[in-house]
Every structure is written in structure tokens, then in C-alpha cells.
Amino acid sequence: MSTEAAIERRRTGRLSHFLGQNVGLVLALAMLVMAVVLYCAVYWVEQAALPGMFELTSTVNNTMSLVLCGMGQAFVVVTRGLDLSVGGVMDLANALAAVHIKDTVGSMVGWSLIILAIGAALGLVNGLLVAIGRLQPILVTLATLSIYQGLAIRVLPQPGGSIPPVYSSVLVNPNGPSALVYVLVVALIWYAFRRSSLGVAIFALGNDEQAARANGIDTVRAQVAAFTLSGLMSGAAGLFLAATATAGDATTGNGFTLSSIVAVVLGGMNLFGGRGSGIGVIAGAFVTTMIVNILFFSNIDPLYQSFYEGLFLVIAVVLGALISRLMRRRS
């Protein structure tokens, strides 16, 4: 009896350990499944058919920007911070892309790399101010948000410019869900990050800064790196935004500061740092888009969109808080 019971106990122990470690990820995936099922149901009622390749393609293409900036936000949230400048970096990347990218391979590749580098540099500025200036992430990024937005309007005062059609079709192919490849790439980036020494350092920093430092982790470097990664991902998100719109607008990125936080929260990341999965954030980004799709097919006035986004955000955080409280009480 004793050995069997011991094995049994260990098995449930392992399962509940996994659930405890990944409760956010599991919830995010469950929410994604629920959202997809609900979407299919609403779509069936309205169109008497199931959504097909076209819907998949447009959903993936519309979500790519959010997947990228949500992942960027995730790197910072792991450190216990928050990056409010995400929208500003996207604005600037979007504006630069619309003004500079021309219809030659050299221009497309060259400027894409330059814009990604600029995104990373903007993130680096945030990181240095937070880590070396020892300032509050929220205030620093609120200030730099204002600065980056100003720079974006300087680059592109009026909506306009253009994105070469070839560029758009490489990033967001309208004829097939090929952007799923990029989703996979983002997921792989997260896996690589999680297994790198930098990932270990950033997670350690988020869990307990003093303990991390005591164990020889360069916390300043980790924090700067997290913000730099966020800037890089936001820059990429701005490129996808420009490619989707096929033109530039120095203000369309603004809403992504909120959306990226929504994606992170729906993705089950712990806002107190040190816990969460980027895979959950990808799911969270898709849930956000699905909510919009569901509202659209339920004939709900689009004016109410931010009401439902806010409501789902509250429900998600409240549920998350209740579940983690429940788990803590049981263990």
C-alpha cells in the first residue's frame, strides 16, 4: 500500500505542480479554445457556414502586430515592470516604414533592419533610465511614450506614405495564412529566451531582485535587456502594422499600449513578475482579436468595443486572482 500510495501521491503532486506553475498558460489556452468555439457558433448563426481559410488568414494577419508587441510587453512584465511606450515605438516604426521603405529589395531589407534597430534603441533608452536611473518603469515609459509619439508625428505629420505591395504580401499575405510561420517564429523566440541565461536572469530578477543579485546575476543588465527586447518587438509590430494598412499613420499604434497589456493579462502572465509564458501571451493576443470578431458577428455596435475589451480584461484578472488564491490555499 505504502509504495503505491507514495507513487500515486507523487504523480498527483507532479500534475498539480505543473498546473501550479502553468496555471496562466492553461487558462489562456482554455480561453482561446472557448473564444474560437464561440466565434464559430456566432459565425454559424450569421452565415450558416463555418469560418474558413479566408477568416483564418485575416485573423492571423490582424493579430500579428499584437502578438509581437504583446510578446515585447511580456519580457518587461516578467521583470515586474510595465512598458507603456509600446504604442509610441510602434508609431515611430510605422511612420518610418511608410516614409522610407521603397520598392527595391535593398530598401525593404535595409530599412526593416534599421527600423528594428531603432526600436531596440528606444527600448534600450527605457531600460537604461529604469535600471541605471533607478526610476519607476511606468513613469519612465509614460514620459518616453510622449517623446516617441512626438518623434513619430515629426517623421510623418499627416497619415500617408506607402508600403510596397510586395512588402505587405511578404509580411501579411492576404491569400493564405502564411503569417502563421511568424507566429511560430515568435513562439520559438520565447522558447529560446526561456532556455537562455538571459531568460534565467530576467525571470530571477522578476521573482526576487535581491536574491537574484546575491546569486551573481547582473540585474541591471537583465532589466536593460528586457526593455531592449520589448522595443525590438514593438518595432517589428510597427512594421507589421504598416504592412497591414499598406500606408502609414503616426497614431495607429497608440491603442496597442492597452492592447499589449490586455494580451499579456489574458495570456495569464503574473503582473507581479517572475511568472508566465510567452505562449500564453500569443494565445492572449488571439483571444483579443477573437473578442472583436465575436462582437462583430453578434451585431454588437462597434462603438462598444472598448467596453467589452475592458470588461474582459477585468474578468480575466479577477478570475486569475481568485484562482491563484484558491491554489495557494490548497497547497
Partner 1 sequence: MAGKTALAQFRDRIGLTRDVRRIVYVYLAAVLVFAAGEIVHPGFARLDSIAAILTVASFVGLVAAGQTFVVLIGGIDLSVPWVLNAAAILLVTSSLGEDGRAVYAVLITLAMGAAAGLVNGVIIAYLGVPAVVVTLAMNGIMEGLTLGLSGGMTCDSCASYAPPVVQDAVHGSLFGFPTALILWIVVIAIVSFVLSLTTFGRKTYAIGNNAKASYLAGINVRLSTVLLYALSGFFAALTGILLVGFGGQASLGMGDPYLFQSIAAVVIGGVYVLGGRGHYLGTTAGAVTLVALVSVLLAMNMPDYGRNIIYGVVILILLLLYGREEKQE
The 136-175 site mask, x for binding partner 1 (CB under 8 A), equals x-xxx-xxxxxx-xxxxxx--x------------------
Q: How far apart are CA 202 and CA 218, in angstroms?
A: 9
Look at residue 248 and give its three-state secondary structure. strand
What does 284-302 look like in DSSP terms, one character per residue? HHHHHHHHHHHHHHTT--G
Among the residue ranges 15-23, 185-193, 235-243, 315-323, the one whose residues contact partner 1 (CB under 8 A): 315-323
| Residue 298 in contact with partner 1, rule: CB under 8 A | no
Nearer to partner 1, 296 or 308 (CB): 308
| Residue 303 in contact with partner 1, rule: CB under 8 A | yes
Of 142, 97, 144, nearest to 116 by C-alpha is 97
171 close to 179: Cβ distance less than 8 angstroms = yes
| Residue 129 in contact with partner 1, rule: CB under 8 A | yes
- Tell me the CB-side half-sphere exposure of residue 39, using CA atoms within 13 A: 21
Give the total of residues touching partner 1 (CB under 8 A).
44
Q: Which residues pair with 160 in a beta bridge?
A: 248
What dihedral do alpha carbons 103, 109, 110, 116 form, nearest 10°? 120
Q: Which of 93, 115, 261, 279 binds partner 1 (CB under 8 A)?
A: 261
Q: Which of 301, 328, 329, 331 binds partner 1 (CB under 8 A)?
A: 301
| Residue 7 in contact with partner 1, rule: CB under 8 A | no
Q: Where do contacts with partner 1 occur on this chain (CB under 8 A)?
A: 82, 129, 133-136, 138-140, 142-147, 149-154, 157, 258, 261, 265, 271-272, 301, 303-311, 313-314, 317-318, 321-322, 325
